[in-house]
Chains A and B, each alone.
Chain A
Amino acid sequence: MYALVDSNNFYVSCERIFNPTLRHAPIVVLSNNDGCVISRSNEAKKLGIPMGAPAFEFKNKFSELGIHVFSSNYALYGDMSNRVYRILQNYTPNVEIYSIDECFLHFNNFSAQPLDQYCKKIRQEILQKTLLPTCIGIASTKVLAKAANHIAKKFPQLQGVYLIDTDEKRIKALQWLNIEDVWGIGRRMSKKLKSKGVHKAIQFTKLPDEYVRKQFSVVGLRLKKELEGISVLELEEVQSKKHIATTRSFDTTYTNKEYLAERITTFAVTCAAKLRKQKATCQLVTVFVQTNRFNEAHEQYSRSINVSIPYPTNSDIEIAKYAKKGLDLLFKAGLHYKKAGVIVGGIALENEKQFNLFEDEPFKHRKIMQTIDKLNTKYGTQKLKLASQALDKTWKMRQEHLSPNYTTKWSDILEVR
């Protein structure tokens, strides 16, 4: 069985941990460079603030409605995300980070207590230790677990946990679930399905396999199988819009740090290339390493770390540099590593910055990045360092509403009276 643990309005909830006066206040968190709304409290949702609302357009509305505005603080969010991950690891070694606020747990078929009771305990522990509210969906496949999570979120009487463990429950869930809310069904695919009269997930599962494969390729067919309760998806097969991951299991285990460093660098560069392809930037790099969990003779170790980058970037060099920093903090000598990965988050589109009419700096920034990339391939890393140092000075991100780094900086720790 799979469980998807998802933090509710994660960025907003992180801001609330250290500011209890805002527990019931409308809050929004803005993307990189204070571009647009990327996280909303339920109160802000009720006031009609849409996801992606451009900050400059809504500026007056925010102050009229008394909405509290925050710049994104990835150092804080990364640290809180890591805390949740650590707690989850106490319950099962099979934890997969899907994005900064979502983790998949995999449970073997035996369990001392019913899984929904078990997950209620997990949820309670996360709430007590981090003050973060979460929802947990449990089902036999990842796509169904995501659907169960959706249900747990929509119906407060479920107390944040929903388990799909019978076919009856599965069908009921799919009758309720809109096709566009099925995990992995993109906008284009759901549009196409709707034009054919498929509006609910249950209708999609009634289509013949052959038809689905022809129209939506093997990806569509796999989603259909998952909805039917047949697990076919491994991690990384469905890409989140919120993050880009490059992770690999190695052919054998490695103990050598140089090898891991080389792998991590390669993964970071791959992520950067994907970002550039999507014309996007990231502001957070998650690095993880894992030993072979099936070899009980060796010491088990599984850690992830989030490193926040002070400015949005999609440069190979920058991302690799921060990923390497993460590895330095994670690496423990003498262990047999089997898997490692780099996940980038805090993704924003490059052109999102156009919302700032009076700021042409990001374009300069991008040019410099491209030049760095070119220089790098031509002359190696030495030149690059100079350029990246100069960068820090020439371009400063807009963060007018940044909260303190409560958990990562001595100068920023919370003061209590």
Chain B
Amino acid sequence: MIQFIKFGSELEYLPIKSQGKKYYVQLREGVNAGFPSPAEDFLNDRISLDELYLSKVESTFVNRVKGLSMYPDYLENDILILRSDYEPQHGDDVVVSINSTEYTLKRYDKINSKLVALNPKYANSVTINENDEVVILGVVDALVRNIKNRK
């Protein structure tokens, strides 16, 4: 029979059994009385870029920018995080193909039904007509740019 040894009215003390199942608990160093370290709950966490950019893996595509058609907003070798679940809004940048052309990066001008290349040297803005087949791979959600090793 287990006897509880009472310490005042708040604490109970369980006697140690020598037989039966043993349980092991993790020992943390430097356990002190007082407040627990606020870091304790986060021991195994680390900042995750996946969390930021790949929270919806089923509708995320990753592309790389070539050329300067969207200069100055985009530079060569910028990495685009595209989201295919977003409905393109006015002013969004999209990776798009019209009537079976290659995908290009363009700014969507919803008001004028246009896809605009930002670089004035590139005159390849496109007007979307009613019967055009427009395929959008995704809306640009974020871009990753390497600063240290740029040329």
Q: From known contacts A23-B133, A416-B66, infer whether A129 and B58 are also in contact, taking CB-CB under 8 Å.
A: yes
Q: From known contacts A83-B57, A128-B84, A129-B84, infer whether A21 and B101 are also in contact, taking CB-CB under 8 Å.
A: yes
Instruction: Give B100's nearest chain A residue, CB to CB.
Output: A23
A407-B84 Cα distance, complex, nearest whole Å: 14
Shortest A315–chain B CB gap in Å is 30
Q: From known contacts A129-B85, A415-B66, A417-B67, infer whether A20 and B59 are also in contact, taking CB-CB under 8 Å.
A: no
Kindly name the residue among A87, A129, A413, A417 whose own CB sees the greatest number of chain B CB atoms within 10 A.
Answer: A417
A416 and B135 contacting across the interface, CB-CB below 8 Å = no
11 more A-B residue pairs beyond the given contacts A128-B84, A416-B104, with a C-beta to C-beta distance below 8 A: A23-B135, A87-B58, A129-B85, A406-B61, A414-B63, A415-B64, A415-B65, A416-B64, A416-B103, A417-B65, A417-B67
A417 and B105 contacting across the interface, CB-CB below 8 Å = yes
A414-B62 Cα distance, complex, nearest whole Å: 7
CB of B80 within 8 Å of the partner chain: yes
- Among B34-92, those with CB < 8 Å from A are 57-59, 61-67, 69, 79-80, 84-85
Q: From known contacts A128-B84, A128-B85, A131-B84, infer whether A20 and B62 are also in contact, taking CB-CB under 8 Å.
A: no
A416 and B133 contacting across the interface, CB-CB below 8 Å = no
A164-B102 Cα distance, complex, nearest whole Å: 40
CB of A388 within 8 Å of the partner chain: no
A417 and B69 contacting across the interface, CB-CB below 8 Å = yes
- Among A1-34, those with CB < 8 Å from B are 17-18, 20-24
**Could you write out 9 A-B pairs with CB less than 8 Å apart?**
A21-B102, A23-B97, A83-B59, A129-B59, A413-B63, A414-B137, A415-B64, A416-B66, A417-B105
B58 and A130 contacting across the interface, CB-CB below 8 Å = yes
CB of A86 within 8 Å of the partner chain: yes
A87-B59 Cα distance, complex, nearest whole Å: 9
A17-B64 Cα distance, complex, nearest whole Å: 16
Shortest B88–chain A CB gap in Å is 11
Q: Which residues of B contact A (CB under 8 A)?
A: 57-59, 61-67, 69, 79-80, 84-85, 95, 97, 100-105, 133, 135, 137
B100 and A21 contacting across the interface, CB-CB below 8 Å = yes
A206-B93 Cα distance, complex, nearest whole Å: 59
Shortest A83–chain B CB gap in Å is 4
Kindly name the residue among A23, A130, A415 whose own CB sees the greatest number of chain B CB atoms within 10 A.
Answer: A415
- Among A209-260, those with CB < 8 Å from B are none
* Total of A-B residue pairs, C-beta within 8 Å: 70
A131 and B135 contacting across the interface, CB-CB below 8 Å = yes
**What A residues does B62 contact at CB under 8 A?**
407, 413
Q: From known contacts A20-B135, A417-B69, infer whether A407 and B61 are also in contact, taking CB-CB under 8 Å.
A: yes
A128-B65 Cα distance, complex, nearest whole Å: 22
A20-B4 Cα distance, complex, nearest whole Å: 76
**What B residues does A24 contact at CB under 8 A?**
100
Instruction: Give A79's nearest chain B residue, CB to CB.
Output: B57
A20 and B100 contacting across the interface, CB-CB below 8 Å = yes
In the A-B complex, the 9 residue pairs with the smallest Cβ-Cβ separation, listed nearest first, are A20-B97, A83-B58, A86-B58, A129-B59, A417-B67, A415-B66, A414-B63, A23-B100, A416-B105
A131-B95 Cα distance, complex, nearest whole Å: 13
**What B residues does A18 contact at CB under 8 A?**
137
**What B residues does A23 contact at CB under 8 A?**
97, 100, 133, 135
**What B residues does A20 contact at CB under 8 A?**
97, 100-103, 135
Instruction: Give B62's nearest chain A residue, CB to CB.
Output: A413
**What B residues does A417 contact at CB under 8 A?**
65-67, 69, 102, 104-105
A129-B82 Cα distance, complex, nearest whole Å: 11
Instruction: Give A414's nearest chain B residue, CB to CB.
Output: B63
Shortest B51–chain A CB gap in Å is 15
Against B, the Cβ 8 Å flags (1 = close, 0 = not) of A273-300 are: 0000000000000000000000000000
Against B, the Cβ 8 Å flags (1 = close, 0 = not) of A388-416 are: 00000000000000000011000001111
Instruction: Give B68's nearest chain A residue, CB to CB.
Output: A417
B64 and A414 contacting across the interface, CB-CB below 8 Å = yes
- Among A52-101, those with CB < 8 Å from B are 82-84, 86-87
| B84 CB contact (under 8 Å) in A86, A130, A406 | A130
**What A residues does B84 contact at CB under 8 A?**
128-131
Shortest A251–chain B CB gap in Å is 22
A413-B65 Cα distance, complex, nearest whole Å: 10
B63 and A415 contacting across the interface, CB-CB below 8 Å = yes
Shortest B108–chain A CB gap in Å is 14
Q: From known contacts A23-B100, A131-B84, infer whether A416 and B58 are also in contact, taking CB-CB under 8 Å.
A: no
**What B residues does A21 contact at CB under 8 A?**
97, 100-102
Shortest A17–chain B CB gap in Å is 8
